[in-house]
């Protein structure tokens, strides 16, 4: 019996030294890896080629704070997302007296002159008035009313964009051309894996309509039945990470358990959509890489590259270390709490510095484009105003979604 006790104690000691959280940890008996910030990355829940890691941690803001998501606010008409006629900037207005609305980078809004994806996190206090927000077109071919939708405002938010390339293009502000390229890439990958063309709809370039495809919805529901309810096993969850085909893809962590639960379904559906788009890349006996857990929350390793001072209640920071990009929604005020941190894998050769280089190139492209508008063409005639207006929409690489007051440090 004594030898068994010694063996048990030896095993427990080894697990503790390896960073695995035991039953005596702060969040109960579920095993996981302890990381910075009082968090635990739990063991994965896997279905098919998708592995979900829940992340437990403390509430960093008042548990009673009334934070609502954009989807929730739009459904209840607590917020209005206004069409501005500018492809790369919309206006958001919180019309409530007491609720704080949280808008997430990557949220797709449907309607207006064309569907958009929002390019930054934005926290809107009650009675905010119209606040500008960066946006990208995710529906290249439309610039008019669609069906019964309003032309002046957007009807709802039901999805987050999926795919590493598209998420990074949006969150990192890599330009309209890059977003269009990645939307087309995601459409192609999804189509290849569900044996149906998701572009066959009323607006073939629309990301929103693509992910509403019936065959894709069936695939998403199959994954959701296995994974969506598992969150109930993690009452202290503040976020999640996902691996697809054994490799880290993305993670999001919140300062509020309650707020994370409100966002969970959209995050999961985005992860599932990406997993479906990569099913043909899955390998038998795929090894699950866990090395990312050592660096994801290594706070000292992150370097701030860009800081966007929004007209809301937060700043939006772009940061990087050797392995990850981190997009950080920091509340204004003395405590400067990170309401949400969103992580993307940094591939070889990628850097946030290239964002600035890309903007300088886009500014030159805009200058050249303007010269083409107002100088005679070889035949000696001027382009019409209508063509100029169309070019502003169709060639929007020159636009970059960065509203006022951005500082770089």
In this structure, are 39 and 138 located in the same domain? Answer: no
Q: What is the mean pLDDT of residues 216-243?
A: 97
In this structure, are 128 and 32 located in the same domain? Answer: no
What pLDDT does residue 26 have? 54
C-alpha 259/C-alpha 68 separation (Å) is 7
Whether 1 maps to a domain, the answer reads no
User: Which of 92, 72, 187 shows the shortest CA–CA distance to 135?
Assistant: 92
162-to-16, 122, 170, 339 alpha-carbon distances in Å: 36, 20, 10, 21
Of 6-15, 21-30, 308-317, 367-376, the one with minimum mean pLDDT is 367-376
In this structure, are 293 and 229 located in the same domain? Answer: yes
Whether 3 maps to a domain, the answer reads no
Q: Check pLDDT > 60 for residue 357.
A: no
Q: What is the mean pLDDT of residues 342-371?
A: 64
Question: Cα-Cα-Cα-Cα dihedral of 164, 168, 169, 172, to 10°?
Answer: 180
Q: Which DSSP symbol is given to 347?
A: P
Give tens-digit pLDDT for 91-100: 999 999 999 9
Q: What is the mean pLDDT of residues 157-186?
A: 95
In this structure, are 79 and 172 located in the same domain? Answer: yes
C-alpha 151/C-alpha 147 separation (Å) is 10
What is the residue range of 21's domain? 9-43
Whether 184 maps to a domain, the answer reads yes
In this structure, are 408 and 261 located in the same domain? Answer: yes
Instruction: Classify the C-alpha dihedral 48-253-324-36 as positive or negative.
Output: negative
Q: Check pLDDT > 90 for residue 377.
A: no
Q: Which DSSP symbol is given to 153?
A: B
Q: Check pLDDT > 80 for residue 16.
A: no
C-alpha 254/C-alpha 263 separation (Å) is 10
Tokens linked to 121: 């996190």
In this structure, are 25 and 71 located in the same domain? Answer: no
Tokens linked to 108: 């797709």
In this structure, are 30 and 88 located in the same domain? Answer: no
What pLDDT does residue 323 have? 96
Question: pLDDT-based confidence at 355, cuts 50/70/90?
Answer: low
C-alpha 176/C-alpha 67 separation (Å) is 30
> Can you state the percent helix, strand and coil of the chain, rounding each to 5?
35, 30, 35
Whether 4 maps to a domain, the answer reads no
404-to-300, 310, 343 alpha-carbon distances in Å: 29, 7, 24
161-to-20, 26, 58, 299 alpha-carbon distances in Å: 33, 34, 28, 27
C-alpha 302/C-alpha 325 separation (Å) is 9
In this structure, are 156 and 20 located in the same domain? Answer: no
């Amino acid at each position: 019996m004594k030898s068994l006790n010694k063996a048990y104690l030896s095993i427990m000691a080894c697990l503790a030294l390896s960073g695995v959280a035991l039953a005596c940890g702060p969040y109960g008996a579920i095993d996981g890896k302890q990381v910075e910030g009082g968090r635990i990355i739990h063991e994965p829940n896997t279905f098919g080629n998708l592995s979900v890691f829940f992340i437990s941690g403390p509430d960093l803001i008042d548990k009673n704070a009334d934070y609502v998501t954009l989807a929730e606010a739009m459904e209840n008409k607590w917020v209005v997302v206004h069409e501005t006629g500018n492809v790369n900037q919309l206006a958001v207005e919180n019309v409530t007296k007491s609720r704080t609305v949280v808008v997430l980078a990557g949220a797709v809004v449907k309607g207006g002159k064309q569907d958009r994806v929002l390019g930054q996190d934005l926290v809107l206090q009650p009675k905010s008035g119209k606040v500008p927000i960066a946006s990208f077109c995710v529906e290249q071919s439309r610039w008019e009313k669609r069906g019964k939708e309003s032309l002046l405002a957007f009807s709802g938010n039901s999805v987050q964009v999926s795919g590493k390339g598209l998420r990074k293009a949006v969150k990192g502000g890599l330009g309209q051309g890059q977003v269009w390229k990645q939307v087309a890439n995601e459409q192609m990958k999804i189509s290849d894996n569900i044996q149906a063309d998701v572009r066959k709809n009323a607006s073939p370039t629309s990301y929103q309509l693509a992910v509403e495809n019936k065959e894709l919805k069936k695939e998403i529901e199959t994954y959701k039945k296995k994974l969506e309810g598992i969150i109930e096993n993690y009452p202290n969850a503040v976020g999640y990470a996902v691996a697809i085909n054994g490799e880290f893809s993305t993670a999001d962590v919140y300062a509020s358990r309650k707020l994370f639960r409100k966002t969970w379904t959209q995050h999961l559906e985005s992860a599932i959509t990406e997993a479906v788009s990569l099913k043909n890349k899955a390998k038998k006996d795929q090894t699950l890489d866990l090395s990312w857990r050592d660096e994801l929350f290594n706070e000292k390793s992150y370097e701030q590259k860009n800081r966007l001072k929004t007209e809301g209640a937060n700043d939006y920071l772009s940061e990087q270390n050797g392995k990850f990009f981190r997009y950080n929604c920091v509340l204004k005020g003395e405590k400067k709490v990170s309401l949400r941190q969103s992580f993307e894998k940094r591939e070889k050769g990628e850097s946030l510095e290239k964002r600035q280089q890309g903007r300088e190139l886009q500014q030159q492209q805009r200058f050249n484009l303007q010269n083409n508008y107002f100088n005679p063409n070889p035949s000696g005639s001027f382009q019409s105003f209508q063509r100029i207006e169309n070019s502003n929409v169709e060639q929007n690489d020159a636009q970059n979604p960065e509203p006022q007051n951005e500082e770089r440090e």
